[in-house]
Structure 1
Amino acid sequence: MNAMSSTTLTLRFLQREFRERFTGSLSGSAWALLQPLLQLGVYSFVFVHVFKARIPGADAPGYVPFLVTALWPWTAFSEAVLRSTTVIQNNAALIGKVALPREVLVFASVCTSFAVHVAGFVAILLVLRVGNAGIALGGLPLALMSYVPLFALALGISLACAAVQVFVRDLAQLLVQLLPLMMFGAPVFYDRALLPPAVQPWLSLNPFTFYADAFRVTLLHHGSVAWSSVAIAVAVAALVLVAGIGVFRRLDAHFEDFL
């Protein structure tokens, strides 16, 4: 399959993913913006007014922008992995009838999740900025650039998981349990400064910790990220993507026997 037909096929699968995601919704594609705004209202009430959550430090940001700048990138990442894990299994009939590069199905699924949640992320940041929540919109370009290695990380994991799911059908259920552990093992809901000093370095073993820190540095000027951490995060994302492609292509030839 040449490059032109591969691009056309990818675009068609992207259109199908968006259509299936929003068909039947009362608000259609506007739900991509309404959902994060509703979630923002819920989190503001629960964490600020009920739990009285605060970030330590005299110059610390408010808890809501602190949470938003890490939680929405996490949502894009986790949803992309979960939705993509079953995409080969769910398209078994199509795979049996049409010769196509199966990784396109995974790519389209990951793209859709990231596109929806990045749009919602930008919408929330604008609302917070209007509400004088301390969002530095000048850091938005760098924040959006941070989505690139995060996308590569999610795509690599998704390719591997989608391939393995064909043979191990309960992998998707296992991921539902493992991803929350990964989330709570990163400083999404809390500031790492609240943890004992002996525990804080262990957070860096979680690949998402870098992204939580990076989004807060660029958008809230809270915390710090070393250049070495940027290099490591990019290298890890690239290695995971290469490994995911390798696993997918290795197992691809056997899909029809198990679907």
Structure 2
Amino acid sequence: MSQALHTPPSTAAVPAETPAQLAARFGLSVSGARPTLRAYVRQLWARRHFITAFATAKLTAQYSQAKLGQLWQVANPLLNAAVYYFIFGVLLGTKHGVPDYIPFLVTGVFIWTFTQSSIMAGTRAISGNLGLVRALHFPRAALPISFCLQQLQQLLFSMAALLVILLCFGVPVSLSWVLAIPALVLQFMFNAGMAMIMARMGAKTPDIAQLMPFLLRTWMYVSGVMWSIDKLTKNSDLPPAVMTALEINPAAVYIDLMRFALIDSFHASQLPHHVWPAATGWALLVGVGGFIYFWKAEETYGRG
């Protein structure tokens, strides 16, 4: 009896909980972990007000130090169009045989600038905002999307000037102008997808931002911004594969759609075959594909 009372307690060690077990017991999760795709979309939608407010604030601040202020939103693309008109329209003669060449050129410059600026802004969306990325928890796709929205807002300012130019050069108001709305929606989807692709690449390799201006300039020259692709393909001995590539070039597709919508002398016969399916296909392929590509690296942004 005495021996039983003095038996020392068992010293068998209780196994310690792993960090994962502790986190599960207290309801903790890994900071910055990638959510499911559906949850990620819900998070983005919940922050839609932040995305629009951030885009508007960036647009307002862009020219806040300039004397002319927000007038530069219209002046910049107009000056570019004037330079291109002198070099390509006058010196190189690309205006010959193109009806309403100035509206044709200005439309191409404005629509191309939307794509170019969206991609350039997307390239620096993560690498240029590391302080914000590391300080706050939010779906990182909000940044490239907000930059594309900023460029869309800037384009809408430019479109007001474009409509004035169309009227000044005798282009009549037409019901086809309504087609500009779906064309811009599809182009925005394409631009947002490209911006997200470049944002992920730029986050890993910031030096790519130095290469992009050269690639975009090359892309511009083959997109029919200053010259007519339809005129070239009808009077050229280019291989069929090259002509097809020029026609389905996404930048050229969206430029041609906008010209068809706004310019009365730009006829449907000048559009490539199946232009609306091509525009929709590019928007879905690059928009959805770019979003998924960006989401897959969500947990890596801002680290290292």
Partner of residue 69 from structure 2, selected from 13, 28, 52: 28
Query: Does the 8 Å CA contact 1:17/1:108 hold for their aligned counterparts?
Result: no
Distance 1:124 1:200 in 2: 29
Range with greater deviation from structure 2 (22-31 or 92-101): 22-31
| TM-score (norm. length: structure 2) | 0.75
Query: Does the 8 Å CA contact 1:55/1:191 hold for their aligned counterparts?
Result: no
1:190 counterpart residue number: 227
Query: Does the 8 Å CA contact 2:78/2:106 hold for their aligned counterparts?
Result: no
> What pairs with 1:69-218 in structure 2 (closer than 5 Å)?
69-132=107-170, 134=171, 136-192=173-229, 193-195=231-233, 196-197=236-237, 198=239, 199-218=242-261
| RMSD after superposition | 2.4
User: How far did residue 172 of structure 1 move?
Assistant: 1.5
User: How far did residue 30 of structure 1 move?
Assistant: 2.5
Distance 2:112 2:124 in 1: 19
Query: Does the 8 Å CA contact 1:76/1:118 hold for their aligned counterparts?
Result: no
Residue 135 to residue 184, structure 1, CA distance change in 2 (3 Å):
farther
Query: Does the 8 Å CA contact 1:182/1:206 hold for their aligned counterparts?
Result: no
1:222 counterpart residue number: 266
Distance 2:255 2:45 in 1: 37
Residue 40 to residue 151, structure 1, CA distance change in 2 (3 Å):
same
User: How far did residue 92 of structure 1 move?
Assistant: 0.6
- Larger-Rg structure: 2
1:227-248 CA-partner distances (Å, limit 9, x unpaired): 7221122022111111111111
Distance 1:226 1:11 in 2: 34
Letter in 1 for 2:116: S
User: How far did residue 46 of structure 1 move?
Assistant: 4.4
Range with greater deviation from structure 2 (10-19 or 232-241): 10-19
Structure 1: which 5+ runs fail to align? none
Q: Determine what percentage of the aligned residue pairs are the same residue.
A: 23
Distance 2:175 2:282 in 1: 27
Residue 38 to residue 171, structure 1, CA distance change in 2 (3 Å):
closer
1:97-138 CA-partner distances (Å, limit 9, x unpaired): 111111111111111112112321331231231232x36554
- Residue 17 (structure 1) aligned with residue 62 (structure 2): no
Distance 1:209 1:42 in 2: 20
User: How far did residue 250 of structure 1 move?
Assistant: 0.9
Residue 226 to residue 54, structure 1, CA distance change in 2 (3 Å):
closer
Number of residue equivalences: 254
Residue 102 to residue 3, structure 1, CA distance change in 2 (3 Å):
closer
Residue 79 to residue 137, structure 1, CA distance change in 2 (3 Å):
farther
Query: Does the 8 Å CA contact 1:149/1:234 hold for their aligned counterparts?
Result: yes
| TM-score (norm. length: structure 1) | 0.87
